[in-house]
Structure 1
């Protein structure tokens, strides 16, 4: 089942509220690895930012230009850099950066006509629609949101 524009917009609006709620977690919860060998909540939230920026600035306006879409950044470079940044900055900065770029992305998504959400385009050899593209991103968000929820103390869940 492919999500429609409204469902996608609802998810992105919910993530803004959910990340804002993380101001309530303890500093130890914010900075500690969610499990052995995993990132902290700070690092997880921070890693969303450059990906949202990439979608906003390098993909969103290019979907229908009949040109090859830009390659995604190297995940093995971008994710460690965003995790490192999260370790150095205040929680409020990480949350503000997330909210700023996600809000801008959400505003641009809302401007896209409903008819475009099911129009096909290609990334490499993969045929997608905007709905299916964002559905994949939402699944990624939900994966990390679940990890964070599971890592938080039971009274916070």
Structure 2
């Protein structure tokens, strides 16, 4: 049975790459500077977003395909790996290319698999988001990630 899919949420997720392309003009000296005291840099944020997209591709989608729930790792240690990658010597252009390529790959997967995207599943064993009362699905996670993207976009724009 085909499931109706809100493609706008997914297309909004794709459109974020248009904004991240503008970061190619960001001066190299700013790319890895913390945006504020104790905060990540623009480069670390892009690496962080890429890692979450990669995780959805490599772990979340296969789990849903296998009728399993979504399992998300400890955010702090997961994000730390992304921050370290951004500081590993990878160039700004390469990291932005990796992010865009990964995001577009994920969007293509989401659009091609509406049944997987809209299927109600658990997230770390929980069926319904305790904050919104919405049943978990990959589409719900992408909706949340859109808000997450915009949070980081605003952080970067405020700092630069």
* TM-score bracket for this pair, using the shorter chain length: 0.7 to 0.9
Residue 46 of structure 2 corresponds to 45
**Root mean square deviation of aligned Cα:** 1.9
State how many pairs are aligned: 147
Separation of aligned partners in 2, 1:33 and 1:136: 24
More helix by share: 1
Separation of aligned partners in 1, 2:51 and 2:30: 23
Separation of aligned partners in 2, 1:122 and 1:131: 12
Residue 25 of structure 2 corresponds to 24
Q: Any conservation in 2 of the 1:5–1:117 contact (CA below 8 Å)?
A: no
More strand by share: 1
Q: Unaligned regions of 5+ residues in structure 1, if any?
A: 153-157
Q: Unaligned regions of 5+ residues in structure 2, if any?
A: 129-135
Change (3 A) 1:81 1:129: closer
Separation of aligned partners in 2, 1:110 and 1:43: 28
**In the alignment, is residue 138 of structure 1 matched against residue 118 of structure 2?**
no
Separation of aligned partners in 2, 1:77 and 1:116: 28
TM-score by length of 2: 0.82
Separation of aligned partners in 2, 1:137 and 1:117: 14
8-17 or 36-45, which deviates more: 8-17
TM-score by length of 1: 0.83
